[in-house]
């Protein structure tokens, strides 16, 4: 979790949507059963504490868990107003390729330097949520060589960093300051067809060189390459950016080789425009060639509120974060001293 940097207002903690590439990750997409909203709200309030409990002994492995909430669940759980741009994922039907919209109320995106930490936190979350939720998708991701996807290309190079990353993902000017939106899609690749392509042709599909990861010069980069269709520049020349945290995943026995796309943004329309460029094309027909080798199986859009919101949502009886979870102190400690202070001995 990172401190919010607006000096004039009380500090609000954003969830850790910006993180260095990790060795391991898990994406869990859940639906919430009727009348279980209160249980889910309680677990979300405890998420920070649970993450610290599992990861505390392994600081170097930086366990994190981002929770995203879908539009239907938001209204059922937190009521109105909804975050302004929160809506169900919009299916896109192009002439050849489709981006489906699939069910999901809640997203947990877990990352760490080792899979066991992600796995244990996911397990603890599911113990708490037993009887309240159904898992509609669970993907265990791994780092593949030097942060490559299963097509063999380095993935994540052009992610913004530092202040540019914060500007790309964090809502600054609205009721939900410090929050973000996240879109996820599960893609599977036709690796047989892909591997049969000469490397030079693969590079023209992606728009970068495979070994060196250097971007192709504009004169050589096809308009339907993945990089070209996803480079969105406003009229004033400003590039609209998102922060991606894609995970490689697969099951060799089943011949399943995939990329789990996870894109964070301060406004979902940036990602939605990229998806329109990919699936419909701009101009229509100029679809992203990566889709000729990749099929989208799922699609979901979620809002990522701040840690403060999750721990003490408006209208809850708590106006301070729950003491059971213990909010991290500015120095990163768990304020054990204050516990001692409550002792009667
Ligand atoms: C089949 C799934 C996908 C794969 C395998 C994939 C892979 C890649 C690779 C290898 C790159 C080049 C290196 C980099 O800058 O990261 C890239 C760039 C990028 N991708 Fe994807 N990607 C996928 C889906 C998506 C989706 C669904 C979006 C957005 C909706 C997206 C947005 C971007 C953006 C914005 C860039 C950077 C463009 C630039 O500024 O150069 N990608 N992707």
Residue identifier of the C-alpha nearest atom 23 of ligand 1: 261
| Mean confidence (pLDDT) of the chain | 90
Query: In the chain, how many domains are there?
Result: 1
Answer yes or no: is 62 within a domain.
Answer: yes
The answer, yes or no, to whether any atom of ligand 1 lies below 6 A from the CB of 208, is yes
Residues 6 or more apart whose Cβ sits within 8 Å of residue 17: 66, 169, 180, 182, 243, 264, 304
The answer, yes or no, to whether any atom of ligand 1 lies below 6 A from the CB of 277, is no
Instruction: For the chain, give the longest Cα–Cα distance.
Output: 76
246-280 residue pLDDT tens: 999 999 999 999 999 999 999 999 999 999 999 99
Instruction: Say what the pLDDT of residue 317 is.
Output: 61
Cα–Cα dist 27/35, whole Å: 24
Answer yes or no: is 342 within a domain.
Answer: no
Q: Which atom of ligand 1 is nearest to the CA of 227?
A: 38
Answer yes or no: is 20 within a domain.
Answer: yes
Neighbours of 344 (CB within 10 A): 3
Residue identifier of the C-alpha nearest atom 10 of ligand 1: 155
Q: Which atom of ligand 1 is nearest to the CA of 148?
A: 10
Cα–Cα dist 53/171, whole Å: 29
pTM value?
Answer: 0.91
* pLDDT above 50 for 178: yes
200-212 residue pLDDT tens: 999 999 999 999 9
* pLDDT above 70 for 4: no
* pLDDT above 50 for 9: no
Q: Calculate ∠ Cα 70-178-103, nearest 5°.
A: 10
Answer yes or no: is 6 within a domain.
Answer: no
Answer yes or no: is 194 within a domain.
Answer: yes
Q: How much distance in Å is there from the Cα of 218 to the middle of ligand 1?
A: 17
Orientation angle between helical segments 115-129 and 37-55, nearest 10 degrees:
150
Cα–Cα dist 113/333, whole Å: 21
The answer, yes or no, to whether any atom of ligand 1 lies below 6 A from the CB of 231, is yes
Answer yes or no: is 180 within a domain.
Answer: yes
Neighbours of 62 (CB within 10 A): 16
Cα–Cα dist 334/321, whole Å: 13
Among 15, 1, 62, 28, CA closest to 304: 15
> Which residues form the domain of 296?
11-328
Answer yes or no: is 223 within a domain.
Answer: yes
Answer yes or no: is 5 within a domain.
Answer: no
75-92 residue pLDDT tens: 999 999 999 999 999 999
Instruction: Say what the pLDDT of residue 330 is.
Output: 34
* pLDDT above 60 for 337: no
On whether the CB atoms of residues 113 and 61 are closer than 8 A, the answer is yes
Instruction: Say what the pLDDT of residue 323 is.
Output: 37
The answer, yes or no, to whether any atom of ligand 1 lies below 6 A from the CB of 307, is no
279-323 residue pLDDT tens: 999 999 999 999 999 999 999 999 999 999 999 998 776 544 433
Catalytic residues: 155
Ligand 1 mutation target, pool 91, 98, 155, most atoms within 8 A of CB: 155
Residue identifier of the C-alpha nearest atom 35 of ligand 1: 230
Could you tell me the pLDDT band of residue 174, with boundaries at 50, 70 and 90?
confident
Instruction: Say what the pLDDT of residue 316 is.
Output: 74
Among 312, 296, 245, CA closest to 64: 245
Q: How much distance in Å is there from the Cα of 204 to the middle of ligand 1?
A: 14
């Amino acid at each position: 979790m990172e401190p919010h940097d607006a000096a004039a207002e009380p500090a609000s903690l954003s969830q850790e949507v910006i993180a260095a590439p990790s060795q391991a990750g898990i994406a869990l997409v859940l639906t919430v059963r009727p009348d279980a909203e209160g249980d889910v709200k309680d677990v979300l309030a405890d998420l920070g504490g649970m993450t610290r409990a599992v990861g505390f002994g392994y600081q170097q492995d930086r366990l994190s868990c981002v929770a995203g909430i879908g539009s239907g669940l938001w209204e059922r759980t937190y009521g109105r107003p909804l975050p302004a741009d929160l809506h169900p994922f919009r299916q896109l039907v192009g002439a050849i390729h489709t981006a489906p919209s699939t069910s999901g109320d809640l997203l947990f995106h877990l990352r760490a330097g080792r899979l066991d930490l992600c796995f244990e936190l996911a397990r603890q979350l599911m113990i708490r949520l037993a009887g309240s939720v159904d898992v509609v998708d669970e993907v265990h991701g791994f780092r593949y060589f030097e942060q490559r996807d299963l097509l063999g290309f380095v993935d994540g190079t052009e992610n913004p960093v530092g202040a540019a990353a914060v500007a790309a993902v964090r809502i600054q000017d609205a009721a939900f300051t410090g929050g973000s939106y996240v879109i996820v899609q599960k893609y599977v690749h036709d690796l047989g067809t892909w591997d049969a392509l000469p490397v030079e042709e693969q590079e023209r599909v992606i728009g970068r060189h495979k070994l060196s990861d250097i971007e192709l010069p504009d004169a050589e980069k096809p308009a339907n390459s993945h990089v070209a269709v996803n480079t969105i520049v406003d009229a004033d020349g400003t590039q609209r950016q998102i922060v991606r945290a894609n995970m490689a995943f697969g099951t060799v026995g089943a011949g399943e080789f995939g990329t789990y796309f996870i894109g964070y943004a301060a406004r979902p329309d940036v990602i939605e425009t990229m998806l329109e460029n990919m699936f419909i094309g701009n101009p229509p027909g100029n679809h992203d060639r990566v889709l000729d080798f990749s099929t989208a199986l799922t699609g979901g859009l979620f809002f990522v509120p701040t840690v403060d919101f999750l721990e003490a949502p408006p209208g809850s009886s708590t106006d301070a974060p729950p003491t059971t979870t213990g909010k991290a102190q500015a120095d990163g400690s768990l304020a054990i001293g204050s516990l001692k202070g409550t002792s009667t001995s």
